Structure formats: C-alpha cells, structure tokens
Structure 1
Amino acid sequence: FINVLILIVAFIEPAGLAFKEEIHRDTLVWGDVMEIIFDILFIADVWLNFYRPVEENGRLNWDKTVIRKQYLQGWFTVDLIASIPLDIMFLALTEPKSAAARTLSALGLLRLLRMYRIKNMIMDLEQNPKMPYLAFVATKFALLICLAGHWSACILYYLAKLENFGETTWVYEYNPDLPTMGFTHQYTTSLYWAIVTLTTVGYGDISPVSDLERGFSMVVMVLNMGVTAYILGNMTRIVTKEDATIMDFRESISKLSKFMIRNHIPRTVRDKINAHIQLEYDMRTRDDEQVLAFCPPTIEAELRQTIYQDYINECPLFTRVSRVFIQHLLDCISVEYYHPGTAITNKGLDATTMYYVCLGKVDIVSEEYLDTPSVKSRIQTALPGEWVNIVSVICGSTCFHTSIVTSTARLLACSATKVRAVMKRHPRDARRVMTALKRMYRVELQTAKDARHSAGIDLYEQLISALEQQAKNLGESERHELIVAAVSGDTTTLDVALSGPDAKAMINLKDYSGRTLLHSAVEMEQTGVVKLLLRRGADVNARTRFGYSVMSRAVSAENENLVKILRAAGAEFAEPRMETVLHDAVSEDRFQRVKILLLAGARTDYRDYTGSTPLHVASRLGSARIARLLLSEGADPSLLDNSGLSPIAVAEQLKDVALIALFEEKLQLRPTQSGKM
C-alpha cells in the first residue's frame, strides 16, 4: 500500500511544484488535504518500521533491538526527511511567488526520496517465480517511460516559471498566454515537448530559449540515450532469446554433419541421427532435464515423482514393492524421444539403459532382422506400459536382444548404474520384481513354444535363467549382509531387513554349512541380536549340516546368560557326539562347561562305550565338586557300567572318602555297605 502511495506522490509532487501557484489560502483545497494524508501515512510507516521483522539468513528476526538498530543505521533518516511536510508547514511564512516560496515548494520533492522503496519492490518482483515475466517487464518499462516524460515536462515548465514566463523562456516563445490557460493545456504542451525530446524526433515547434532550458534539454537527451539503451537492450534480449536457441541448435547440427561427413558415416545412419536430434529438440527433452537439475534434490525428487509415478504405478512389475523403492527408482528416470528405425539396444553390447514405453512401439527382434527385416524375425513388440532391456540391466549382463523403435516413441530411460544401486539397496524389492518378471516370461516362453518360435524360445529361456541366477546371487549377497549384521550386533539393520512380509523365510536362511543367523549371533555372543531374532520367530532348534544346534553354540561359548535365554525359548542341546559330550567335559575336569551343559539340557544318564555315565567318570577322577553338581541335576549313583560297577563302587575302590560320603548321603546308605550294586 505504501509503495502505491509513493508512486502516486512521484507523479503529483513534480506536477504540483510546476503547475500549482504558491499562494496562501484560508482553507485547504483537495490537493493540500491529500498531501497531508499522505504525509501522515508516511510518518506512521516510519513508526511501523521499528516493529517490522528483518530477514537474516532466510529467516525472519522479530527481535525489536535488532530491528531498531538496523533501521536507524539504514533508511530511517531518509524516510524521516521524506515524511516531514516542510513545504506545507512553513509556506505561510513566505510571500506568494517569492523566491523563498518557490524554494520552500521545491522542498516537497524530498518526498521522492522514498523512491528507493519502488526500486526494492521491483527487484523483489523480478525474483518472484509466480510473476509473469514478460508482462512485468512491459509494465516496468512503461512506468519508466511515463516517469521520465512526466518529470521532464514538469521540470521544463518549472524552469520557465522560475523566470516568471518572461521573454527568455520557451513558454513566451511558444504562447505567452499559456500560463493563464488551464492545467490540462499547460501539462499536455509540456509533455508534448518532453516526448518529442525523449524520442529525439525534434519537430522544432517548441524549443528551449534560455541557457537554463537548453542545458536541461541536453541533460534530458543524454539521459534518454541511457533509458533507450536499457529498454531496447532488455527487449532485444527477450525477443531474440528464442532465435539464439535456434541458432545454437543449427550450429550443433552443422558441426555434427561435418563430423559425420569427415568420418564417412553412411547416409542412412546420418539421416537417423539428424532425425533423432531434431525430434529431441522439438520435444525439448534437454530443457526438461536442465530444469530438473536446477532444482534442489528434494524438489527434483518431488517433481520426478509427480511426473513419472503414474507410469510406475501402472506397471504390474512394481505392484508389491515398497514406496521407498519406487521413489529411488524415479530418481533414475529421464525422458527420451526416438525416431522410427532407431536401435535402442544391440545384442551382445553392454546394457547401459532400460526403457519404459510411454508412447509408440518398440520391436524386440532376432539377429536375422538386421539383415532381412520380416515379421518372422520379430520376437515381440513392446507396447506402452512395457519395459525393454530390463533383465539385462537388473542382471548386469550384456543385452540379450536387439530393440528397434518402429514408431515415434516417448520412453522413460533408466540408467543401469543407478538402477543396480537401487536394487542393491532394496534386495527384497528386487527379488519381487525378478519374481514378477520370471512369471511373465514363463508365460511368454509357453506362448513361443506353442508357436514354435525358436528365437523366442531361446530368448525367454535365457532371460529366465539370468533372472534365476541373479536371484541366487542376490540371496547370497543379502544373506552375507545379514550375517555381518548378526555377528557385529547391528540390530537396526536386522530389524529393518526382517520387518517385511518375507521375514520368516529370511530369518532362517542358511549358509553353505547350514548355519542360520541365530547360530552366528550366538557364536559371537550378540545377546541383543539373539533376542531380536527370537522375537522375530527364528527357529531356535535349527541345526547345521553337521548336526550342531543353536544351543550347542551357546555351550561352546560357555555363555550362561545365552543358554538361559535359549532354554527359555525352548531350545534343545544337540551335537554329533552329544551322548559323550558331558563325559568329555567331566574327564577334562571343566567344571564351568559341565555346569553349562547341564543348564543346556545335557542328559546325565548317557553312557560311553564302556557303559559309564558322567558320574562314573567323575568318580574315577575323584572330582567331588563335579560329582555334587551331577547329583544335583539328577544323576543316579546306582547305575552300573559294563563292568558292573556303580559310581560309589568306583569311589570305594579308590578309597575316596569324600566321594563315598557324598554318594552315601545321596543314597542314604551306611558306610559299611559296599561293592557292587
């Protein structure tokens, strides 16, 4: 609003100075009232500026101390001077038409100091992307011309007024009665001269007479040169921008043509290249990519999602993939247009791009097609909504087939490098895509077999085989990553990886030796990972190829806490030599291992080849501590080995008083009892 008032003042203030008489009135006319109202609003604006937030680093600062400091050090003085109505306040102290009165009236031009606000407003509007640029530029130039003509007309008349319209003024020379005529005639006459001078037409019917008027006329002419150059330069730049684009395109075509002629490129190939470049220019595909590249990454991703997501959503290959996968895939897409006859893939060459057909047709052909094009050598026609070369890109192989554009085509091109990175980042989604592709190609394979199309059969068998091998490789890679996460304790990665619908199959994946993720986590004593896997439904009794259970790995690590966790989850102890594993621990006098084995569920009644139980072994070793532990876990001291000896008999043979007392306490026998039982 204030800027609009400033523009109004920019027109009425010079006009008032030039055409209004400096006379004293008992009452105020409408012009005086309007000036007073404007001055009041300007003073109010000065006060409001002490409370307007200032922008710092793209954010609004509402700190009043900072606001006041910046304003006082900035435009406060200018705004204050431009807001004080000195011409109205002291006009009554001067004589009408005196030099003092005219000087005081000229002080009203101080209100024009606020024109800096108009400059700032124009700069802000120029940077506003919502502003129609051509219309804005035209308005700006029109305003500049109007102000230049208006100010020139007012100043010229004021110069004659300073000399009281005497014989040495242009007014007297043109029409001595002009000062007595109405404002309209005075203004249009002055404006006529200003326009004639600004446009350098110079009819000569109105000419400056005094030296002051001639000097002013020369200044106007010089300034007009700058204004004209500025306006014409900008208009020329706008008008010729499209011409410059066309010239750049023609120059590029000319260089390309010379290159192809210099290198003896066949005429047919040259025609295809020229047609493709012309199509690309007509569709402005490069302009689209430049616009997207100009945007910040988040905005670019949002634009790509808006433009391309419908195509991806309509494709049945991506119906079961995650939204994050689709968003990353959209970042790989760019639009390309191809002329009929263009080969977009060639069998045996590296697969650098896969294509989604939006418009047009693409024929997938056999090698015979290149020599003798025919319907028989065409394997399939990719229509809108279908992918071309997708298997080659996903599997990282060379192209399995040659693809020829048969009608002007609009394709979404996906970089192979970016697509593989997305597949690696989202292996589960990649498997779903490959599963959908295998299902689709099996149908195509059956159709080719029914039609006895040998080229089609060979192609689809190759595609299915490549997908199966890639799925296997991807599974091994994913399994390796999960194992690394399990052994390193990376619960975050595991939790994310095992949160999908196929988590149950993944959580029990086995390596070449049959070890599961739970085996690996237990071996590395990653308690947090073990709890996560159990919570996710890992098989607590899974065994390796050699028969080792998860519990056996916890026993080997002698981690009592893990054994308790697994035991509570229903885990059972199993090893290839599980019947004698407790015997070995006792014979080695490994008390902690014996304790862990018993905690894991190792049985105390298993016998070795001599028929001995672990308690027999403890008796022969004279280990009362281990024997007490075995007895506390239910070991039976009355069991006989192959020699017919019980553990207590063995102790009596060895005259181990401590063991005998321990067994007798258990059996509640007298010390005199002996022997074989």
Structure 2
Amino acid sequence: MGKGKVYSSFFTPLEFGFFRGLPENLFLLDIAGQIAFLFDIVVRFFLAYRDTHSYSFVYDRKLIAFRYLKSRFIVDFLGCLPWDAIYKACGRKEPIRYLLWIRLSRALRVTEFFEKLEKNIRIKYLFIRIVKLLVVEYYCTHVAGCIFYYLATTLPPSKEGYTWIGSLQMGQYHYSNFRDVDFWKRYVISLYFAVVTMVTVGYGDIHAVNVREMIFVMIYVSFDMILGAYLLGNMTALIVKGSKTERFRDKMADLIKYMTRNNLGKQISKEIKGHLKLQYDRSYTEATILQDIPASIRTKHNIFLEGKR
C-alpha cells in the first residue's frame, strides 16, 4: 500500500485543482484505489502493534481494533469515500470537493515509509535523505501549484483575464482561454508559478492578479520560510554526520557482519537485530530520562519498579 499512499497523496491535490468531475478512466482508477484502501482498513483491525510503554507487541484483536478506532479509523474511512461520485450526485456543489483534502492524511504514512527506509542499511543513507528532501520540496510546490490553478478556475469565464494564468502572456501566446490549453501544459505552468514563488526569484513574467491570489501568495511565502529552514537544516545534518539513525545503521551493519562471520542461526540473528531495533526505538525515552537523575533517586525508582513486579 506504500505506492498507493504516494499516488493518493499526489493525485488528490491534482484532482482538486484541475478536475471538476473526473473523466471515466481516472474515475475508475480512483474507485479501484479507494477499494484498495478499504482493504487496508480491514487489515489494520488485525495488525499487531508495539505498546509505547512496555515496547512489547500486542496481538489481542480487541485491543488492536479499539486502538485503531480511537486513532485513524474515521479519517481513513472518510478518505476512502468516492467524493467525486458524491460531488456529481449532489449537483456538483463546490464545498463537497473540499472534503477531498481528507485523503492528504495518507501523506503521513509516506513519511513513515521514508523513516523505515532510513533504517534499511542496504540502501545508502545519503541517497534516502536526498530523495526524501526532493520529494518534500516537490510535493509542497505540487500542492501549491494545484491550489494556484484552482483559484484561477473559481472565477467565471468572463473574468478569467483577472487571474494569474488568464492574464499570462508568453511570447506571442496569450492564456486568456487557459481552460482549453493542454492539461500537462497547464500543470507545468502552475508548478512553475509555485516554484518561482517559493524561491522568491520574481522574474515578473507571472504574478498574482486578484486579491485571493495575493492572499494565498502571502500564506505560501510564509510557509516557504519554514520549509526552507527544514530543508537547510536537513542538508546541514547530511554534512555533519552523527545522527541517531546513522549510529543505528552503523551499529546494525557491524552486527550483521559479526553474525555472518560467525554463522549465527536465523532465529538468534533475528532476535539480536530485534533487540537492537528496540534499543533504537526507546533510546530517547527511559535511558535518556534517567541518565541525568541523581543516583539516589534512581535507586528509589528501581526499588519502586521492583516492588510493582
């Protein structure tokens, strides 16, 4: 389902911005995708999870179901609804289309996917991090580009000249009838507007025209300041090594070499790697919290825990 979540995360803004009612081929593809996500919801009612306190896996189906119902079930279920069909059935009422954005919650699962990749020592850590940063940057500009185009389509055709794309002229070509332009050309132009706005280049060839577009540009540029800090911080972290994940990867690589050299069995190797992963997951919890506490208090803490057992 990882690829499906990536597809959904990228297609949802595209559907919202460029399509008021999907064509038949995309509609069938969308329905197939939502059926797959419904299947994923069913699977999650049986998927064991690791308890955040004991760090042991929970296999009890009632606890698994209760935990999922309390957390993401409602959002996941709403995301699986065929909003395009509902939009058409309700007389194409515009507010219904805003419910498409519920599906963007799946983007959080994409970040979890990258976190798992970062722990995979078979893939270069630098490569994963660079790909992740490129995906984040492209995704933000992709969403912004789709919103830019959507704002242009909210005005009636008679006022399309008062939009950023309707007033655009490149060379001898004027985009006053931009709805008739090829889809990919409209998308590239929208993405271009988002990129030049993000990097604050300001060529002057493309700019906001009406008040709504200006308001969104201000919000988008403010967000870009945070995004820029995030990207810069991560690039710095790539140069200055020593992150928690890198230490884990180095230790895991050494451990695998040791187990291979000594021909350890699969079961014991699995247990050793599982223990190392558990240490990684809880390294910033119990150990970090207790290390700065005075020895006398730690002793009382240990006595208290022994008494509970």
Instruction: State whether structure 2 residue 110 is matched by structure 1 residue 118.
Output: yes
Query: Quick one: higher RCO (CA 8 Å, sep 6+), 1 or 2?
Result: 2
Where 2:167 maps in the other structure, the secondary structure is helix
Pairs within 5 Å for 1:363-378: none
Equivalent in the alignment of 2:85: 88
Where 2:162 maps in the other structure, the secondary structure is coil
Pairs within 5 Å for 1:532-611: none
Asked if structure 2 preserves the Cα contact closer than 8 Å seen for 1:87 and 1:106, the reply is no
Equivalent in the alignment of 1:44: 39
Equivalent in the alignment of 2:221: 221
Distance 2:69 2:196 in 1: 44
Amino acid at match of 1:111: R
In structure 2, do the counterparts of structure 1 residues 206 and 72 end up closer, same or farther at CA, with 3 Å as the change threshold? Answer: same
In structure 2, do the counterparts of structure 1 residues 159 and 119 end up closer, same or farther at CA, with 3 Å as the change threshold? Answer: same
Distance 2:218 2:153 in 1: 19
Pairs within 5 Å for 1:53-452: 53-56=48-51, 57-95=54-92, 100=93, 102-164=94-156, 166=159, 167-174=161-168, 175-241=175-241, 303=258
Distance 2:260 2:156 in 1: 73
Shift of 1:107: 2.1
Distance 1:45 1:239 in 2: 38
Gaps of 5+ in 2: 169-174, 263-309
Equivalent in the alignment of 2:13: 14
Where 1:208 maps in the other structure, the secondary structure is coil
Gaps of 5+ in 1: 243-290, 308-677
Where 1:32 maps in the other structure, the secondary structure is helix
Shift of 1:104: 2.2
Distance 1:188 1:90 in 2: 27
Asked if structure 1 preserves the Cα contact closer than 8 Å seen for 2:144 and 2:220, the reply is yes
Shift of 1:305: 11
In structure 2, do the counterparts of structure 1 residues 88 and 181 end up closer, same or farther at CA, with 3 Å as the change threshold? Answer: same
Shift of 1:303: 4.4
Distance 1:304 1:127 in 2: 18
Distance 2:91 2:21 in 1: 9
In structure 2, do the counterparts of structure 1 residues 48 and 305 end up closer, same or farther at CA, with 3 Å as the change threshold? Answer: closer
Render the CA deviation track for 1:421-468: whole Å, top value 9, x for unaligned: xxxxxxxxxxxxxxxxxxxxxxxxxxxxxxxxxxxxxxxxxxxxxxxx
Asked if structure 2 preserves the Cα contact closer than 8 Å seen for 1:85 and 1:108, the reply is no
Render the CA deviation track for 1:154-180: whole Å, top value 9, x for unaligned: 000001111135243112211212121
In structure 2, do the counterparts of structure 1 residues 128 and 59 end up closer, same or farther at CA, with 3 Å as the change threshold? Answer: farther
In structure 2, do the counterparts of structure 1 residues 108 and 304 end up closer, same or farther at CA, with 3 Å as the change threshold? Answer: closer
Shift of 1:124: 3.0
Amino acid at match of 2:145: A
Distance 2:200 2:97 in 1: 31
Where 1:173 maps in the other structure, the secondary structure is coil
Shift of 1:131: 3.7
In structure 2, do the counterparts of structure 1 residues 131 and 10 end up closer, same or farther at CA, with 3 Å as the change threshold? Answer: same
Where 1:205 maps in the other structure, the secondary structure is coil
Amino acid at match of 2:208: P
Shift of 1:119: 2.3
Amino acid at match of 1:9: S
Where 2:166 maps in the other structure, the secondary structure is helix
Asked if structure 2 preserves the Cα contact closer than 8 Å seen for 1:36 and 1:85, the reply is yes
Asked if structure 1 preserves the Cα contact closer than 8 Å seen for 2:50 and 2:56, the reply is yes
Asked if structure 2 preserves the Cα contact closer than 8 Å seen for 1:78 and 1:114, the reply is no
After TM superposition, the structure 1 stretch with the greater mean CA deviation from structure 2, 107-116 or 192-201, is: 107-116
Asked if structure 2 preserves the Cα contact closer than 8 Å seen for 1:22 and 1:105, the reply is no
Equivalent in the alignment of 2:284: none
Amino acid at match of 2:90: L
Equivalent in the alignment of 1:647: none
Aligned length: 245
In structure 2, do the counterparts of structure 1 residues 172 and 306 end up closer, same or farther at CA, with 3 Å as the change threshold? Answer: closer
Asked if structure 2 preserves the Cα contact closer than 8 Å seen for 1:91 and 1:104, the reply is no
Distance 2:238 2:32 in 1: 41
Distance 1:20 1:54 in 2: 38
Instruction: State whether structure 2 residue 33 is matched by structure 1 residue 31.
Output: no
Shift of 1:241: 4.5
Distance 1:230 1:197 in 2: 17
Shift of 1:143: 0.5
Asked if structure 2 preserves the Cα contact closer than 8 Å seen for 1:6 and 1:112, the reply is no
Where 1:170 maps in the other structure, the secondary structure is coil
Q: Which stretches of structure 1, 4 residues or longer, exceed 6 Å deviation after superposition?
A: none
Shift of 1:90: 4.3
Structure possessing the higher radius of gyration over alpha carbons: 1
Using structure 2 for the length normalisation, give the TM-score: 0.71
Asked if structure 1 preserves the Cα contact closer than 8 Å seen for 2:87 and 2:97, the reply is no
